[in-house]
Amino acid sequence: MEAESYVIQTHGLCKSYQEIEALKSLDLNVPQNSIFGFLGPNGAGKTTTMKLLLGLAFASGGGGTVFGLDIAKDSVEIRSRVGYLPQEPRFFEHMTARETLDFTARFFFRGPENEIKKRVDETLDLVDLADKADRPIGGFSGGERQRLGIAQAQVNYPDLLILDEPAASLDPLGRNDVHAIMRKLRKYTTIFYSTHILDDVQKVSDTVAILNQGELVAYGPIESLLAGGDGTVYTITIKGSSDHARTILEDQDWVSNIQSTNDEDKSTLLVNVTDEQVADESLLRLLLSDPDAIVTEFGRKKYKLEEVFINIVGGDKNVQQ
């Protein structure tokens, strides 16, 4: 991608506090209009990275840009184009959602009253709060508060939206609502967010970065991370014994490894291949050519993000900031 296609770029960005290296030579590219998941266990360097990007801390080495602007020299201009949602947004309980957004919008906009009102109405619609716009926030559910927090962060048309644990305290329905809003917002902005709910990352993210002890240990499109580190692997479930099917596959020079497990009346094969195109064209046909094999499931193996994360960070499941 061209440099201008990235909203955030860092090059060897690092930060030390006395003798502690909080961040070690971070190279990161965040594509425009993407949903970028930023993960890592406690003390991994996520918060430090966000502070450096926004000019709230100064780097010990390296550098970076946001919107092509230098994070050290242009932090005020950068922050004017960023929306931010803290992990637990706070509101004046007696105010309504409409009053809250109107209050926030006036920090950014000057001009005709009807234009400010129009922007507030648009933002309420965007987060599906139009029907609750004139109710006191004190009666809002956790999910409604979180959606209002996103609306408040989005009311100034930011080019970058930074969300800190946007769905951490919500039930599955509330998290679903937040994910739907994030998908809507990607048309207008780039979303950079941290979370400890790995299933959510898998559902909503395009790209993921994982930090561990200040180092970038995994980075790339979510599909690549979920493919695992063993190349292309197919999962095949066969009714009954898989012995004959295994013999057929072992004769193929593009099959590098086969693992099998048996469970009562079915067998499961994990087949590693070296030539993905040939496997796509031939693997299932070979299995179906065996009259004794009844294939009940077939597809490429995909890992859960939790598996990938635990493998990378050495079993530390606590990924909160």
pLDDT in tens, 192-246: 998 877 777 888 999 999 998 899 988 888 877 776 655 678 889 998 778 888 8
DSSP per-residue letters across 189-238: SEEEEE-S-HHHHHHH-SEEEEEETTEEEEEEEHHHHHT-SSSEEEEEEE
Residue limits of CATH 3.40.50.300 in the chain = 3-226
Which of 198-210 are b and which e, b meaning 16 or more Cβ less than 10 Å from the residue's Cβ?
bebbbebbbbbbb
Structure tokens at 207: 């790209």
Residue 63 tokens read as 């550098």
- Could you tell me where in the chain the CATH 3.30.70.260 domains are found? 232-300
Q: Which residues are CB-contacts of 244 (< 8 A; sequence separation ≥ 6)?
A: 290, 292, 293
Per CATH, the homologous superfamily of domain 232-300 is ACT domain (3.30.70.260)
Single pTM value for the model: 0.74
Tell which CATH architecture fits domain 3-226: 3-Layer(aba) Sandwich (3.40)
Of 169, 214, 224, 160, the C-alpha closest to 196 is 169
pLDDT score, position 314: 67
pLDDT, greater one: 53 or 111: 53
> Which pair of tokens denotes residue 161?
């939206």
Per-residue pLDDT, averaged over 21-32, amounts to 93
pLDDT 10s digits, 150-169: 999 999 899 999 998 888 77
